[in-house]
Structure 1
Amino acid sequence: MSTLKKIKDIVIYKDEHYNTFPNVIRRTDGSLMVGFRQATDRQKKYIAGINKNFGKVTHVDPTSKAVYITSEDDGATWQKKVNVIYDDFVYGVQDPCLNQLDDGTIFATFFMWKVFKKNDIKEILPSDRIIDDRYVARTDNAYSIRSFDGGNTWDEPIPIDYPGKRSICVRGNIAVLDDGAIVLPVYGDNNAGEASKVVLLKTYDKGKSWEKLSVIPQLEGYGFYEPNIFKTESGKLVVFIRTHKIGEKSVYDPDSVKMSPLITCESFDNGKTWTEPAIREFYSPSPFHPLRLKSGNVILTYGYRYKPYGLRAILLNPECTNFDETEEVILRDDGLGTDIGYTCSVLLNNGDVLITYYYFDEENGYRYIAGTICREV
């Protein structure tokens, strides 16, 4: 089995905003597009020290919007000014994910938060986030949005709805079946006190309507989050799931590494049924992203949110079955805290891999969109 060789790290986009959660595609014209979430940076106001109240303020903000930049030279240089995918007057936009369809359509997804003053809320829900004891952030819904001209214009967001749906979020890319159907994994859909689950949805009309295809079997004691789906060369579907072991301890504690294992499930019937969840011996409370390489092998990348903080990857065979034989590759270990990761990769023209993610390497520094280029050797 081959391995991975790191070439270099790059800065894709950095300014005075809080830039996070990137997703990258190659457009039909050959250019690269990176979508990400951009918000006001409030760290100096709310955070005294690295990662204090991590995620409570910085990942929920009513100013957040979905934006993108492009590169016309295969990632060597990038636009200096962002373009807007969607910006809402009331809601904060979260986790834009991009998918280039064969017919030229860019199919994107995101979900949104709404922030209230705490005094205006009659009842605090278990899923609500309390900010500075003054505000309440509540999940709104997940949405799809489309561009038919390479991202120059976008249609209006359409809610991702299906019968019996409860609150859901989305972070991850799609799989396209042989009949043209789009399969999208979402997460949440749970009542108070229940663990978050992964639900597979299917659409034949690019998100105008959805049907509930299946639910990934639960593993007792774990919540399932931010799944990514991958279609192997044989047509098998594999879902890579971020997980949190349910308990009183935070998964971000230094001794909590094994509380967030990668869990995978497989489907041999286009997502109708799934194998039982399998725990893989790779750990991080961050989503995992698969990409097929020119060799047919699959690179699986993830932000590593434990010391030494950084970026890691594993190399899988074409059917993603060799978890017990592959070895973890450390691509970066110079991060300063847990607020990093959310990888998404794309092939460059020479066969190298560009991994995008968000990062910071200065104490309380700006979060920026970073890239690491590596090569299968």
Structure 2
Amino acid sequence: MTRRSLLTAPAVFVSSGLRRTGDVVIYSDDRFYSAFPSVARLRNGELILAFRRAPERRRLGARGVTHTDANSQLVLVRSRDSGRSWTREPELLFAHPLGGSQDPCLLVLRDSTIVCASYVWIHVEPAAHSAVPAAVWLGDYAFQGGYLVRSRDGGRIWHGPITPTPVPGRDVPDCYGAPLPAYNRGALCQTRDGAVHWAVAYPKGRDRSAGTDIHWMTSADGGLTWRYRGPIASDSRVSFNETSLYETPSGALVAFVRTAGLDDHAVVVRYDPRAGRWQGWQDAGWRGHPFHAVRLEDGRVLLVYGYRHPPYGIRARILNPECTDFAEAEESTLRDDGGGADLGYPWAVTLPGRRALVVYYFQRHDGTRHIAGTWLEY
């Protein structure tokens, strides 16, 4: 059933200046498939960690695991001691009334409002597929697009769902024939002017083989309403999807992008505020996905990502404050003991005293998918 374990060891240098000081199992229950976490630090120092939880269907006779489930819900756990211990029973963050939710992405705004972005799949009986106009399908699940919820009391009560605007000019219907709401997995970003920025993925059309590209949306009211600003990156050969945004000290926005059709290479796109436009996308030259970036106490940037190739695990790089050295920054291996490609999706949070906690979902020997973490010092 539910278990937690704290694994500590002498500090191990995983790269020059970065030390791994221990791992922790944050949440594991063999009745559930737990995955796709994000973590945030509240003003009072409390950590909240949200993740997607669904029944472990293999325990109910299924042959394998799946990332779509009508019973997948968003839940969260809390820690008041910098991640060493966590609440035992998850709180329900949100259960969408239409279907199964995925990938809760947390952002704490400067006024302490918490925004959480997610998206939803609706189960459709096989005989009814032709009656549902959705453009995007995964087996018997039709895609309903993205939504957001918000909390103003530290994640105790959530309000929503808020439906974001679709990307204009695309013929991509949802399950009810309306334009598909924008969506994505990855970190939203509040810039110094208070605006919230979101890099959303979107199908190029009804033909799924055309792939997806990414677009820029902003909110001036803390995520309640959204304005479409334009494309970030699109390519005829490469698809762009899961994206995290980061604001540098110069005011530039940097997008760290997952790809398809590029041998799993990371892509970086930069917004130049002086020119008022996104520059062309750049191949980082190394593999991994998806990404999360967080500013360290010394101004550098910790970039974490999953590694779904042997040896399976979690990796990281420390970038300069403007994130211009992504191609040559030294790679650190945080975990290399995963049981296969179904793991990763790390998210990092900084802690006082030049420390950080990186959370992710993990499994050994194709076992229970659980939420784990690694402590770092730098």
Instruction: Report if TM-score (shorter chain) is over 0.5.
Output: yes
Partner of 2:124: helix, strand, or coil? strand
TM-score computed with the length of structure 2 as normaliser: 0.88
Question: Which amino acid is the alignment partner of residue 223 of structure 1?
Answer: S
2:251 corresponding residue in structure 1: 235
1:192 paired with 2:201, answer: no
Distance 1:282 1:71 in 2: 34
Q: 1:30 to 1:58 in 2, by over 3 A?
A: same
Partner of 2:127: helix, strand, or coil? helix
Higher strand share: 2
The 8 Å contact of residues 113 and 150 in structure 2, kept in 1 or not, is answered as: yes
Partner of 2:130: helix, strand, or coil? coil
Distance 2:61 2:250 in 1: 50
1:153 paired with 2:157, answer: yes
Aligned-pair CA distance for 1:189:
3.8
Q: 1:39 to 1:156 in 2, by over 3 A?
A: same
* Alignment equivalent of 2:220, drawn from 192, 195, 204: 204
Larger relative contact order (CA 8 Å, sep ≥ 6): 1
The 8 Å contact of residues 70 and 78 in structure 1, kept in 2 or not, is answered as: yes
Aligned-pair CA distance for 1:364:
3.2
The list of structure 1 runs, each at least 4 consecutive aligned residues, that deviate by more than 2 angstroms after superposition, is 43-48, 123-127, 162-169, 192-195
Partner of 2:102: helix, strand, or coil? strand
* Alignment equivalent of 2:143, drawn from 139, 143, 162: 139
Distance 2:81 2:374 in 1: 16
1:27 paired with 2:12, answer: no
Aligned-pair CA distance for 1:141:
1.9
1:73 corresponding residue in structure 2: 81
Q: Could you give the per-residue CA deviations for residues 305-362 of structure 1, whole angstroms, max 9, x where no partner exists?
A: 000001111111000111233121111110010000001000122221100000001x
Gaps of 5+ in 1: 131-135, 246-257
Question: Which amino acid is the alignment partner of residue 31 of structure 1?
Answer: E
1:96 paired with 2:83, answer: no
* Alignment equivalent of 1:118, drawn from 116, 120, 126: 126
Q: 1:282 to 1:344 in 2, by over 3 A?
A: same
Aligned-pair CA distance for 1:79:
0.4
1:369 corresponding residue in structure 2: 371
Q: How does 1:266-305 map to 2 (within 5 A)?
A: 266-269=270-273, 272-284=276-288, 286-305=289-308
The 8 Å contact of residues 60 and 92 in structure 1, kept in 2 or not, is answered as: yes
Tell me whether 12-21 or 209-218 shows the greater mean CA deviation: 209-218
Q: Could you give the per-residue CA deviations for residues 243-270 of structure 1, whole angstroms, max 9, x where no partner exists?
A: 010xxxxxxxxxxxx6110001101128
The 8 Å contact of residues 237 and 271 in structure 1, kept in 2 or not, is answered as: no
Question: Which amino acid is the alignment partner of residue 308 of structure 2?
Answer: R
Distance 1:369 1:336 in 2: 14
Distance 2:35 2:337 in 1: 18
The 8 Å contact of residues 28 and 100 in structure 1, kept in 2 or not, is answered as: no
Tell me whether 20-29 or 1-10 shows the greater mean CA deviation: 1-10
Q: 1:24 to 1:300 in 2, by over 3 A?
A: same
* Alignment equivalent of 2:359, drawn from 356, 359, 366: 356
Question: Which amino acid is the alignment partner of residue 374 of structure 2?
Answer: T
Distance 1:275 1:121 in 2: 41
* Alignment equivalent of 2:334, drawn from 331, 334, 345: 331
Distance 1:46 1:152 in 2: 35
TM-score computed with the length of structure 1 as normaliser: 0.88
Distance 1:65 1:340 in 2: 18
Distance 1:299 1:201 in 2: 24
Tell me whether 158-167 or 202-211 shows the greater mean CA deviation: 158-167
The 8 Å contact of residues 213 and 272 in structure 1, kept in 2 or not, is answered as: no
1:176 paired with 2:190, answer: yes
Aligned-pair CA distance for 1:218:
1.8
2:56 corresponding residue in structure 1: 41
The 8 Å contact of residues 182 and 204 in structure 1, kept in 2 or not, is answered as: yes
Q: Could you give the per-residue CA deviations for residues 205-224 of structure 1, whole angstroms, max 9, x where no partner exists?
A: 22222111121132331111
* Alignment equivalent of 1:17, drawn from 32, 36, 51: 32
The 8 Å contact of residues 162 and 210 in structure 1, kept in 2 or not, is answered as: no
Gaps of 5+ in 2: 1-14, 173-179
Aligned-CA RMSD value: 2.0
2:95 corresponding residue in structure 1: 87
Q: 1:224 to 1:270 in 2, by over 3 A?
A: farther
1:129 corresponding residue in structure 2: 138
Distance 1:237 1:372 in 2: 27
Q: Give the number of aligned pairs.
A: 350
Distance 1:367 1:271 in 2: 45
2:325 corresponding residue in structure 1: 322
Distance 1:115 1:103 in 2: 37
Partner of 1:227: helix, strand, or coil? strand
Question: Which amino acid is the alignment partner of residue 80 of structure 1?
Answer: R
Q: Could you give the per-residue CA deviations for residues 78-121 of structure 1, whole angstroms, max 9, x where no partner exists?
A: 00011111112431011111111111111111111101111111
The 8 Å contact of residues 109 and 144 in structure 1, kept in 2 or not, is answered as: yes
